[in-house]
Amino acid sequence: MTLPLIILAIPNSAKTVIMIVLMILVFYFFLIRPQSQQRKKEQEYRDSLKKGDRVMTLGGIHGTIHNTMPGFVELEVAPGVRMKVGKSNITPIPTPKEKK
C-alpha cells in the first residue's frame, strides 16, 4: 500500500487523535522545551553570582554585587548606596551587538 491509501484506511477518530498528539508535540518542542531550557540557564546564572559581578535588575538599575545571601543580593548602585534585591530580579548586563 502507498502512503495515501494507508491514510485513507485510518478511521476519522484515529486521525483526530493523531492530529491532537502531533499538535501537543509541536507545542512541546517549539514552546515549552525552549522556555524550560532558558529558565534553567537563567537559574544557573543566578546561582553563580558572586561579589564584584556587574549586574542589572529587571527594572534597569545597574550595580555591582556587594554581598550575596540565600535568595537575595546586596547591590552597590553608587558609592556608599546599597540596595537589597531578590536574585530572581537580577539579569546579566546586555552586551552591545557588534556591527558587521
Cell of 24: 501537543
The identity of residue 30, as a single letter, is F
How confident is the model over 6-30, as pLDDT tens digits?
A: 666 677 777 788 889 999 999 888 8
Does the pLDDT at position 100 exceed 60?
no
- Cβ neighbours for 63, distance < 8 A, ≥ 6 positions apart: 54, 55, 56, 57, 75, 76, 77, 83
What's the rounded mean pLDDT across residues 75-79? 93
CATH ID of 50-93, from 3.20.20.60, 2.30.30.140, 1.10.150.20, 3.10.20.30 = 2.30.30.140
Q: What order of strands is seen across the sheet that includes strand 90-92?
A: 81-86, 72-78, 62-69, 54-57, 90-92
- Structural contact between residues 49 and 55, judged by C-beta atoms closer than 8 angstroms: yes
The predicted pLDDT at position 81 comes to 94
pLDDT score of 4:
64
Rounded CA-CA distance 100/81 in Å is 39
Largest distance between two CA atoms of the chain: 79
List pLDDT tens digits, range 35-65: 899 889 988 988 888 999 899 999 999 999 9
Question: Which of the two residues, 28 and 95, has the higher pLDDT score?
Answer: 28
What pLDDT does residue 99 have? 56
Instruction: Give the whole-number percent of the chain exceeding pLDDT 70.
Output: 87
